[in-house]
């Protein structure tokens, strides 16, 4: 699969994509499982919610969200990586209300239904700012009025003012797009894109944030 953004670290393939969940557990010293469970809990998913999962990856997050849904709730994941798609389909093959669509999230698209929640987890930071604007626009268009756009990603901070023990590995692992992402005012960006009524939850010593924004009615 071609890399659309060569500097990005969110477009992964090969060994890293095939073993993504295992590698994530190793990198976080086993903390990722509890962290993502707690983050999903803070989403306050209703049993009949319709959820759009942007950059759905291996399906790990979708399965966690699906535990809160009844038979009336639905999750639609969007993903383009063939290796991720295979893992998503394997994880969700026996869960009828979780579906997957092969679809780029960085280009405009329209779906037949509207959603109560649009979720994106550690994906949006890996794109240039003009592309992030496209993703936000897609989320806005996919949501019903008063629906929630939920971003789980790095919090805002001045990178050069963070402790060396965080700054050095962050710069080693992440890409220039991420360096730009953490220093932007995301509530203001979302406010100017048609969202308000923000709610925030912080994790991992406040370096990670679950930001919930409602689409204006």
Task: Tell me the average pLDDT across 176-193.
Answer: 98
Structure tokens at 192: 């100017």
144 or 10: which leads in pLDDT: 144
Distance separating alpha carbons of residues 126 and 177, to the nearest angstrom? 5
What pLDDT sits at residue 189? Answer: 98
Map out the domains of the chain with their CATH numbers: 14-104+112-215 (3.40.50.150)
What pLDDT sits at residue 17? Answer: 75
Q: Is the predicted pLDDT of residue 125 greater than 90, yes or no?
A: yes
Lowest average pLDDT, out of 4-8, 64-68, 108-112, 133-137, goes to: 4-8
Query: To 5 degrees, how large is the angle CA 198–CA 38–CA 66?
Result: 90
Distance separating alpha carbons of residues 57 and 34, to the nearest angstrom? 18
What pLDDT sits at residue 27? Answer: 75
Q: Is the predicted pLDDT of residue 18 greater than 90, yes or no?
A: no
Are the C-beta atoms of residues 119 and 88 closer than 8 Å to each other?
no
Residues contacting residue 60 through CB under 8 Å, at least 6 positions apart: 21, 36, 91
Task: Tell me the average pLDDT across 106-124.
Answer: 96
Are the C-beta atoms of residues 44 and 119 closer than 8 Å to each other?
no
Task: Tell me the average pLDDT across 45-49.
Answer: 98
Q: Is the predicted pLDDT of residue 90 greater than 70, yes or no?
A: yes
What pLDDT sits at residue 25? Answer: 79
- Which band of pLDDT confidence, cut at 50, 70 and 90, is reported for residue 1? low
- Which band of pLDDT confidence, cut at 50, 70 and 90, is reported for residue 15? confident
Are the C-beta atoms of residues 133 and 106 closer than 8 Å to each other?
no
Model's pTM, two decimal places? 0.95
């Amino acid at each position: 699969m071609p890399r659309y953004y060569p500097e990005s670290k969110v477009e992964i393939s090969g060994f890293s994509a095939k073993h993504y969940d295992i590698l994530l557990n190793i990198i976080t010293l086993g903390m990722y499982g509890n962290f993502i469970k707690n983050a999903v809990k803070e989403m306050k998913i209703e049993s009949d919610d319709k959820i759009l999962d942007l950059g759905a990856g291996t399906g790990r997050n979708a399965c966690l969200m699906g535990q809160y849904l009844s038979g009336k709730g639905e999750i639609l994941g969007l993903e383009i990586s063939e290796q991720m798609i295979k893992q998503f389909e394997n994880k969700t093959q026996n869960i009828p209300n979780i579906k997957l669509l092969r679809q780029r999230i960085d280009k405009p698209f329209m779906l037949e239904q509207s959603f109560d929640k649009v979720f994106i987890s550690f994906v949006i930071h890996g794109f240039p700012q003009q592309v992030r604007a496209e993703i936000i626009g897609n989320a806005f268009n996919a949501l019903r009025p008063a629906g929630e756009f939920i971003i789980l990603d790095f919090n805002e901070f001045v990178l050069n003012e963070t402790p060396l023990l965080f700054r050095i590995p962050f710069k080693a692992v992440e890409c220039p797009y991420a360096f730009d992402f953490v220093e932007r005012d995301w509530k203001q960006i979302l406010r100017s894109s048609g969202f308000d009524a923000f709610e925030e939850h912080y994790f991992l010593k406040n370096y990670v944030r679950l930001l919930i924004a409602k689409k204006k009615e």
